[in-house]
Amino acid sequence: MSALPLDRPADVAPMASSRRRPLLALAILAVALTALAPLALGDRGLAPDLAARLRPPELLHPFGTDALGRDMLARTLQGLSVSLRIGCLAATASAAIALLLALVSTLGRATDAAVSLLIDAALSLPHLVALILIAFSLGGGAEAVAIAVALTHWPRLARILRAELLGVLASDYVAASRGFGRSRLFVARAHVLPHLLPQLGVGLVLLFPHAILHEAALTFLGFGLEPSKPAIGVLLADAMRTLSAGRWWLALFPGLALLALALSFEAIGSAARHRLDPRAAR
């Protein structure tokens, strides 16, 4: 019996990478279309047309129409665009909070213990309950949703960044660099940032799907955006009133579009993690 070639495992990573490329390209295309489609469509399909109300999916209206005759495809794209903007703002703010707390944890044992306690306390809170309480106390609306999502999504990223920072600062090469008289600025630029920025970038991308889905959940429950806005949560909440009458397209297509957008960001974040983190690639 002939032995298996020893270099077979080395071929697995390039093959897996080649399989991920079409999925990554599709995910980037989906995010780009979500961001640009509302700008291209404008107000087309958003005006009421009672003559075309509650039509099922057809060639002229691929996602059907709602109770006022508005095109569901146009409303879904507008809702995804709103979710994308809120998710971008909330995820960026949440990543900034995580980075700030990770940096504070390196100032000493007392601050590290305080940051660790704060992270554990935030992780112990029921996620959706905290979101609802913050959004409700701020009066609802887009700003309240963005603040609520930003204040509840930083703990896991803060824990990752804190562990990465403490690991780098305790490493032998940082100790050797300081022994050679290198300044703190040089150590931060040459040793800390190359390890920290990839983790921060990947964590920021992976925060997007959570921010988008929780924005839709808050709006669906009535604590988020106003009913007059074409948000995905508003579309799903409106669809629940007519779902029992067989108007399945009012909930199906917006829900699938929201899921596709969240999975697109998951695919982009996973690809970025495999590209930037050698440990994940192995």
User: 């999502």: which residue's tokens?
Assistant: 149
The answer to which of 67-71, 170-174, 244-248, 276-280 has the lowest mean pLDDT is 276-280
More confident residue, 140 or 276: 140
Alpha carbons 95 and 78: distance in angstroms, whole number: 26
Query: What's the whole-number mean pLDDT along residues 48-69?
Result: 88
- Provide the residue type at 233 as one letter: G
What integer pLDDT is reported at residue 17 of this predicted model? 57
Residue 270, token pair as written in the block: 């996973």
What integer pLDDT is reported at residue 8 of this predicted model? 44
**In terms of DSSP H, where are the helices of 125-171?**
127-137, 142-152, 155-169
What integer pLDDT is reported at residue 121 of this predicted model? 92
C-beta neighbour count of 152 within 10 angstroms:
23
Maximum average pLDDT range among 115-124, 134-143, 180-189, 221-230: 115-124
Is 54:67 a contact under the CB 8 Å cutoff?
Answer: yes
What integer pLDDT is reported at residue 157 of this predicted model? 92
Domains of the chain: residue spans and CATH = 71-281 (1.10.3720.10)
Alpha carbons 196 and 193: distance in angstroms, whole number: 5
Query: What's the whole-number mean pLDDT along residues 57-67?
Result: 90
Look at the pTM and tell me if it is higher than 0.85.
no
What integer pLDDT is reported at residue 3 of this predicted model? 45
Burial 42-76 (b: 16+ CB within 10 A, else e): eeebeeeeeebebbebeeebebbbbeebbbbbbbb
Sign of CA dihedral 103, 106, 109, 113: positive
**99 exposed, middle or buried (CB, 10 Å; 0-12, 13-18, 19+)?**
buried
**Max alpha carbon distance in the chain (Å)?**
79
Please choose, from the candidates 279, 271, 265, the residue with its C-alpha nearest in 3D space to the C-alpha of residue 207: 265
User: Residue 125: pLDDT band by 50, 70, 90 thresholds?
Assistant: confident
Alpha carbons 161 and 103: distance in angstroms, whole number: 9
What integer pLDDT is reported at residue 29 of this predicted model? 85
Whole-number average pLDDT of the chain: 83
CB-based contacts of 104, cutoff 8 Å, min separation 6: 111, 115
Please choose, from the candidates 199, 190, 138, 209, the residue with its C-alpha nearest in 3D space to the C-alpha of residue 163: 199
pLDDT tens, residue by residue, 141-153: 888 999 999 999 9
CB-based contacts of 198, cutoff 8 Å, min separation 6: 272, 276, 277
